Amino acid sequence: MSEQSGATPQSGSPQQTGIPKENQLKKDPEIQTLEEDDEFEDFAIEDWEEDQTLGAEGENQLWDQDWDDDDVGDDFSEQLKKELTRNR
């Protein structure tokens, strides 16, 4: 909420958290940019036809079923493989 950004620091002040001031200053902008409200916007019109909707088909396209796949094939998996076999 925008009002929060203007609040004077209380419990999160550098003195209380123990985080060096310079780090606090570096960190704050990043967190603040994500603090804004994501309000659910009102619709411009009250109703619309069925064929204009996303529908079950459109919704199903938004999801993948590949979480169970073993072969992730990214850098992390490669590094993990190296690390696990390193002590041999």
Partner 1 sequence: MEIIHAIGLASATEDGDLLKERFSIMNDAPKEILELQSLNKNAINCYDTWKDVIVNYFSLMKALNRGVPLLTFQCQNELLDSLSKCAKGSSNWILPTLITVAFELQYMALHVDDDYENNQRNNKYSYHNSNNPFSVRTHPKILKMQRALATLTKVFKVCVNDRELDMSKSKKIGVHFFSALIYKFYLKLDQTHLSGNIEKAIESIKDQLPSIHSIPKSHAINYLYYSGWLKLNDGKFDSANEKLTLALRLTRKNDYHQIKSILFLLIPIKFYTNKLMPSKKVFQLFQVQNEDDKQDYESAEKFKKVLEISKCYFQIFRAIKSGNIKLFDTFIYKITNFLLKKNLYLIFEKIRKFVIFKLFKVSYSIIVKNPTSFEIKNIYQIPIGYFTKAMEFSQYHNEKQFYLNDREAKREKKLQNQKEKEPEIDPEIRFTTDELNNTECLLGNGIVDGYIKGYLSHSLRIIVFSKKQAFINTVKRNTE
Residues in the chain: 88
15 binds partner 1 per the rule CB under 8 A: no
What's the number of CA atoms in the CB half-sphere (13 Å) around residue 18?
0
Q: Which amino acid is at 34?
A: L
Contact 2, 36 (CB under 8 A): yes
Judged by CB under 8 A, the number of residues near partner 1 is 59
Shortest CB 54 distance to partner 1, Å: 5
Contact 17, 24 (CB under 8 A): yes
81 binds partner 1 per the rule CB under 8 A: yes
Binding site for partner 1 (CB under 8 A): 1, 3-4, 6-8, 10, 19-20, 23, 26-27, 30-31, 33-43, 45-48, 52-56, 58-68, 70-72, 74, 76-77, 79-81, 83-85, 87-88
